[in-house]
Amino acid sequence: MMKIEVKNISKKFKSEDVLKDVNMTLEGGHIYAFVGRNGSGKSVLLKIICGFYKPTSGEVLFDGIDYNKTNSFPPSLRALIEHPSFLNDLSGYKNLEILANIQHKIGRSEIEKAIIQVGLDPKNPKKYGTYSLGMKQKLGIAQVIMENPDIMILDEPFNGVEEQTVPLIRNLLLEKKNEGKLIVIATHIKDDIQFADDIYLFQDGTVQKTN
């Protein structure tokens, strides 16, 4: 199973220490929750793990490899960070089809399955630009899961999602965990972390494991 090692990660923006000497080990078959108020550094660490930001110091290793040093992105990782970004004038299915065609790993059946799994209708012709916040969030989650990556990173995944759909997505993530996937969820909502195996609390640039 995939293992991520976060070693002595610090990140500064100008003179502000956003992250200070963060260490953790994340492994497949687990769900991890990053918890803290907005601006506590959760999203910054997620972006460093994904390769979108470079740390000021420290390293992130994926099975022993530091992809920051090679200016490449970790393999088999998909992420939803902050807000989903899709083409407003296309349907949800068409948006995911365009993304799936980049690597040609999956086809129509896998795309439709992912859309259904998050509680949306793949046949719905409604354009993304007219989606509610919850629908946009669910399509973003569908994008993360559709190619069945080993690592799934979700920033505030339940933001705007209606209450009756939240258990559906939680159960989906638990299924992925049981398949050996490594899942990281960032949230400031306590109810979102009840199904996590390990919880990391972010506060004033520091990170502490709480269980």
Q: What is the CATH number of the domain that holds 192?
A: 3.40.50.300
Please check whether residue 82 lies inside any domain of the structure: no
Pairwise CA distance, residues 26 & 153, whole Å: 12
pLDDT digits over 87-146, tens only? 999 999 999 999 999 989 999 999 999 999 999 999 999 999 999 999 999 999 999 999
Structural domain for 143, as ranges? 87-148
Containing 82, the helix (H) or strand (E) segment is none
147-161 core/surface letters (b: 16 or more CB in 10 A; e: else): bebbbbbbbbbbbeb
Domains held by the chain: number: 2
Domain boundary residue, one of 102, 127, 148: 148
pLDDT tens column, 153-190: 999 998 888 888 889 999 999 999 999 999 999 988 77
Instruction: Say if residue 62 is in the same domain as residue 154.
Output: yes
Is the residue at 22 inside a domain? Answer: yes
**Within this chain, do residues 2 and 30 fall inside the same structural domain, yes or no?**
yes
Looking at the structure, tell me whether residues 69 and 163 fall in a common domain.
Answer: yes
The alpha carbon dihedral of 157, 48, 15, 209 has a sign of positive
Alpha carbons 48 and 38: distance in angstroms, whole number: 17
Question: How close are the terminal C-alpha atoms of the chain, in Å?
Answer: 22
> Is position 81 within any domain?
no
In a domain, 47, yes or no: yes
- How far apart are the C-alpha atoms of 34 and 59, rounded to whole Å? 19
- Whether residues 68 and 155 share a domain: the answer is yes
